[in-house]
Amino acid sequence: MKKGQMLSQPFIYIFALILGALILIWGVKTVMDLKDTSEQVELGVFVKNIEKEVNKYFFYDEGAARNFDIRFSDKIKYMCVINPETFDKNKNCIVKSKTGELFERDCNTIENSLTLKLVANNKNNIQFLPTNVNDITKFKIVHLMPEKDDQALCIINGGKMKITSKISHVEAS
């Protein structure tokens, strides 16, 4: 072997190590992005399932009811149902615990700085908290309204939501 060949061999190993590390970093980032995407898809599928059931129960006789388990990734803390047309920002939000107990909390601080923010002229009636967990956290489900029209109903992740057919809408409680 010549002297030049002996000196180039360590550079080849260093280059191979750097290239291997870059491939490993890219792979980890891709897996994390895929996990975030799957959580967004899970949320969208859940909203579509509720929308399908609400549309079905809208045409049922008054009083027909069904329970939904509210289960998402740990990033989402609450699912809130709001009537954006009659929501009174000065009233407290109704928070439903995992055991079904109802509490009233200030909508501006539902839990440790989680805030229910409604934008003026917002037509969406479903909002997930915190609002920064997914790209889209607000949805519109036609005919779905909270039990008390002027208050938001926020159900904790892991709790249950009941939908009940009424004459003009489907009520969430």
Q: What does the alpha-carbon distance between residue 70 and residue 35 come to, in Å, rounded to a whole number?
A: 20
**Length reported for the chain:** 173
Residue 85, pLDDT above cutoff 90: no
Residue 4 — very low, low, confident or very high, per pLDDT cuts 50/70/90?
low
The pLDDT assigned to 31 comes to: 93
Output the average pLDDT for the chain. Answer: 83
Q: Are 59 and 145 in contact (CB under 8 A)?
A: no
Q: What does the alpha-carbon distance between residue 103 and residue 95 come to, in Å, rounded to a whole number?
A: 5
Residue 135 — very low, low, confident or very high, per pLDDT cuts 50/70/90?
confident
The pLDDT assigned to 7 comes to: 66
Closest C-alpha among 134, 140, 161 to residue 43: 134
Q: What does the alpha-carbon distance between residue 40 and residue 134 come to, in Å, rounded to a whole number?
A: 6
